[in-house]
Amino acid sequence: MVGLGTLVNMILILLGSTIGILIKGGLKKKFQETIMNALGLAVMFIGISGALAGLFYVEGNRLETMNIMLMIISLALGAFLGEWIDIEDRLDKLGESLKKSLKVKGEKGNGFVEGFVNSSLLFCVGAMAIIGSLQDGLARDPSMLIAKGVIDGVVAIFFASTLGIGVFFSILPLALYQGIITASASIIEPYLNDTLITNISFIGSILILGIGINMIFGKKIKVGNLLPAVIVPILYEIMTHLIDFIKFIS
C-alpha cells in the first residue's frame, strides 16, 4: 500500500503526543523547563552531527572541508526567499488559527504555536523523510518511514510533555510534505542522486541546529524563513551539471 509509511509515521506521532500530553499534567513547571532544555541540547547535537558530516571529510591523515560555498549560498538565498514569503509568520498564523479553532485556552494553550511549529519543522526536515517517502512511493517499502515514525513518536512524547497539544497537529504538514514526495516519487527519483540527498540533508541539519538553539534560548533564529535553503542544493546541482555541459561542448 503506497503511503503506508507516512500513515504509520503519523499514528506514532499521535501516540507519542498523547502520552506526552498525559504526562504534562503531572509535571511541575521546573521539570518542563529542564526537559525542554535537555531536548534542545539533543536537537542541537543532532543538527551539529549532520552539519559536520556535510562539512568535513578525511583524506589521508588530514581533515578537509567541503560544501562551504553551498552552505553560504543555500542559507543566504534561502533566508532571502523565506523572508520574502514570510514562512515563519505563516506557520505561526496557522498555529494560531488551529489554536482558535480548537478553542485551546489557558494552561493547555501555552506553547501551542511553538510546539506546532518546532515539531513540524523537526519531523519534516531530514534525509529520512525524503528517502523514506521515495522508497514508499517507488518500492512500496514503508520500513524507513516506520523507523522514522518510532523516532518521531519518542520525540513527540517529550515535546508534548513540555509544549502540549500543538505537537499533536504537526502531523498535518508532515502528511502534506511526505505525501507529496511519495505520490510524485516516480517523477522525482530519476533526478535524485546520493550527492544531492546528502547535500539536502546537510542543509537540513543546519536548520535542525537552529531549532535546538531556539528551544534553549527562545526564538533567536527564524528557522521557518530558512526552509527554502533545503531547495537550493537542487538548484546548485542543476547549475553544476549545466557548467560541466558548457565546458564539455566548448
- Tell me the pLDDT tens digit for each residue of 109-162: 567 888 999 999 999 987 789 889 988 998 889 999 999 999 999 999 989 998
Domain edges within the chain: 4-243
Q: What is the pTM of this model?
A: 0.84
Q: Which residues pair with 56 in a beta bridge?
A: 65
Mind spelling out the 3-state secondary structure of the chain? CCCHHHHHHHHHHHHHHHHHHHHHCCCCHHHHHHHHHHHHHHHHHHHHHHHHHHHEEEECCEEEECCHHHHHHHHHHHHHHHHHHCHHHHHHHHHHHHHHHCCCCHHHHCCHHHHHHHHHHHHHCCHHHHHHHHHHHHHCCCHHHHHHHHHHHHHHHHHHHHHHHHHHHHHHHHHHHHHHHHHCHHHHHHHCCHHHHHHHHHHHHHHHHHHHHHHHHCCCCCHHHHHHHHCHHHHHHHHHHHHHHHHHHC
End-to-end CA distance of the chain: 49
For residue 47, give the C-alpha cell. Answer: 543538527
Q: What does the pLDDT look like over 174-204, one tens digit per residue?
A: 999 999 999 998 888 787 888 888 898 899 8
Please write the tens of the pLDDT for every residue from 38-93: 888 988 998 899 899 999 988 888 889 999 999 999 999 999 999 999 998 998 89
